[in-house]
Amino acid sequence: MSKADLSLTQRLVTALLPARSAAIEAESREWRTSCECGHEFSVWDAGGVRFKAAGSPTVAIRCPSCRTVARRSLTRTPPAG
């Protein structure tokens, strides 16, 4: 993903914490949700950042596929391996 494709929040985090930006992106991609349209996506894909977090919050988030905003539950899916 190029710098132009990042949200303002993602650009700020990667600029202020360059040494940790890869870890922040990787962990943000582990936090996933799904839409009623059937599309599953990560917090990072939706333009957000979630790092060193716990719990399963419900947040208002826009689906990158159908562009609807709804309250969705986030769950962490650790990488396989």
**Could you tell me the residue range of the domain that residue 56 belongs to?**
3-76
**Has residue 69 been placed in a domain?**
yes
Within 10 A of 3 (CB to CB), how many other CB atoms are there? 9
Percent of the chain with pLDDT over 90: 86
**Has residue 81 been placed in a domain?**
no
For the chain, give the mean pLDDT: 92
The tens digit of pLDDT for each residue in 25-49 reads: 999 999 999 999 999 999 999 999 9
Comparing CA positions, the residue from 46, 42, 45 lying closest to residue 32 is 42
Q: What is the DSSP letter of 69?
A: E
pLDDT of 18 over the 80 cut: yes
Q: Considering its fold, how many domains does the chain have in total?
A: 1
